[in-house]
Structure 1
């Protein structure tokens, strides 16, 4: 199993924008068949080093991760929105 984790810092980290982004990330559940699990969280601490949103998805293997990166829904809906609202992001992919 592979865990793909991405943390996003939004340009506008108001509660409304964070919740909208979180909803769009969660919309992959049921729309991206490769996912074996998904977690989305919104930061409540708002410290200077905090990121605003975390996305964690569980995938079968490295092949599934590559397919996920090119999935139609992921690219046309989720990536499109997140690239437009994110100031920056960091990611890590690891094997469980």
Structure 2
């Protein structure tokens, strides 16, 4: 199993902007066969070093993660994030 985690800091951290982006991310659920699970959480601490959104996804293999990266539904998310993201960091690991 491969776990893929991405943290997003948005240009606009308003609750409305964060919720809109959460919905864009959650919209992938059930639309990408390779995506085994998806969890989207929002920051509750709101510290200076906090990111706004955490995305945790799981895949059976690296091949499935690679297929997800180029899937049309994921490309829609990439386009949205290019508009709203200030910064992001990620980690991928075997779980």
Number of equivalences = 95
Under a length normalisation based on structure 2, what TM-score does the superposition of the two structures give? 0.97
Match for residue 81 of structure 1?
A: 80
CA displacement at 1:4 relative to structure 2:
0.4
Under a length normalisation based on structure 1, what TM-score does the superposition of the two structures give? 0.96
Gaps of 5+ in 1: none
CA displacement at 1:38 relative to structure 2:
0.3
SS in 1 for 2:55: strand
Gaps of 5+ in 2: none
User: Following the alignment from structure 1 to structure 2, what is the Cα–Cα distance between the partners of residues 63 and 17?
Assistant: 32
Cα-Cα RMSD: 0.6
Q: Where do 4+ consecutive residues of structure 1 move more than 6 Å?
A: none
Match for residue 56 of structure 1?
A: 56
Alignment of 1:11-90 (within 5 A): 11-75=11-75, 77-90=76-89
CA displacement at 1:37 relative to structure 2:
0.4
Q: Does 1:94 align with 2:57?
A: no
Deviation per residue, 1:20-78 (Å, 9 max, x gap) = 00000000001111110000001121100100000010001111111111111100x21
